[in-house]
Amino acid sequence: MTAAAPDLAALRIAAVIPCYNEAAAIGQVIAGFRAALPQVQIHVFDNASTDDTAAVARAAGAEVTHVALRGKGNVVRRMFADVEADVYVMVDGDATYDLARLREMIALLVDGNLDMVVGARQDDRQDVQTYRPGHRLGNRLLTGTVAALFGGGFTDMLSGLRVFSRRYVKSFPALAQGFETETELTVHALELRMPWTELPVRYLSRPEGSHSKLSTYRDGWRILLMITRLFVNERPLSFFSTIAALLALAALALAVPLVLTWLHTGLVPRLPTAVLATGMMLAGMLSAACGAVLRTVTLGRREVKRLRYLAIPGVRYVLERE
């Protein structure tokens, strides 16, 4: 796909920036937006910071909204509800994402009438702590898990730089609370089969005085739990069928020796084992039935989200109408 140069001045473009204690970096982020896209409306959502993040952002000309509930997912929910625009650019307020390709990302969105463009991080190799090997490995494993369960070919599911269409933003239910929101953003696009793409962007070192809020193990565990929760919610038949198959295999492993003994002797010497095997087989059948019922519920819920999505014009239509 080749990115042309659409007339971005005809679009309402909003930068939405979640922040928590980013006083040392937020001014640089705002300046980067001004340089890359002068007409952008900049909204900083301050997540109960204890430093001067809000004051610095306001002094730099951004509109500041305070979000009391801690967690990036809570901030995303508020951003998508409050801001009205045709194109949304979401980026973390830590100044680690190079915004030099921002116009190209928006052009890709408009030219392809896409719903999401993800900035896939490329380490600038200036500091080994910028994109630590543990974070890179965790990202690869989690991204691969989502690809295996939900499809898609994302290479950086956890990127904090994304460009969205209005129809994506206003159809996104935003249920996550913390950093697992990126997983939810990705799966939403995959489940509604939205058009999306990735574009490599440089991942930069943090400014001096700025500190990461990520916890490798805690946030990784929360993301893994979110993947599991989404798998149960969006793929209930696969989830419960897997449980049913495991229970059936375990029941057969217990039952086969008992059946062979009964055929030879006419006796069932281990009655508790027989009861357990029968119970496991019945539990497996019940699990499969639950999966079938919940799949019907999931399809109905997905249809409602799809209808909401279809009710909102795509970004190319908005530009042509202008």
> Between the ranges 215-219, 262-266, 318-322, where is the mean pLDDT highest?
262-266
SS3 of residue 132 by DSSP: coil
Using the Cα atoms of residue 73, residue 314, residue 161 and residue 119 in order, give the sign of their dihedral. Answer: positive
Give the model's pLDDT for residue 29.
95
Give the model's pLDDT for residue 127.
53
**Do 64 and 58 touch, CB atoms closer than 8 A?**
yes
- In sequence order, the 6+-apart residues with CB closer than 8 A to the CB of 1 are 108, 111, 112, 197
The pTM score is 0.83
Burial of 178 (0-12, 13-18, 19+ CB in 10 A): middle
Structure tokens at 294: 């919940």
Give the model's pLDDT for residue 40.
93
- In sequence order, the 6+-apart residues with CB closer than 8 A to the CB of 145 are 224, 227
CA-wise closest residue to 306 among 179, 185, 171: 171
Q: Interior CA angle at 92 toward 45 and 116, to 5°?
A: 100
pLDDT-derived band at 211, boundaries 50, 70, 90: low
SS3 of residue 273 by DSSP: helix
> Between the ranges 44-58, 122-136, 260-274, where is the mean pLDDT highest?
44-58
Give the model's pLDDT for residue 213.
62
- Tens digit of each residue's pLDDT (9 = 90 or more) over 15-49: 999 999 999 999 999 999 999 999 899 999 999 89
- Tens digit of each residue's pLDDT (9 = 90 or more) over 63-118: 999 999 999 999 999 999 999 999 999 999 988 999 999 999 999 999 999 999 99
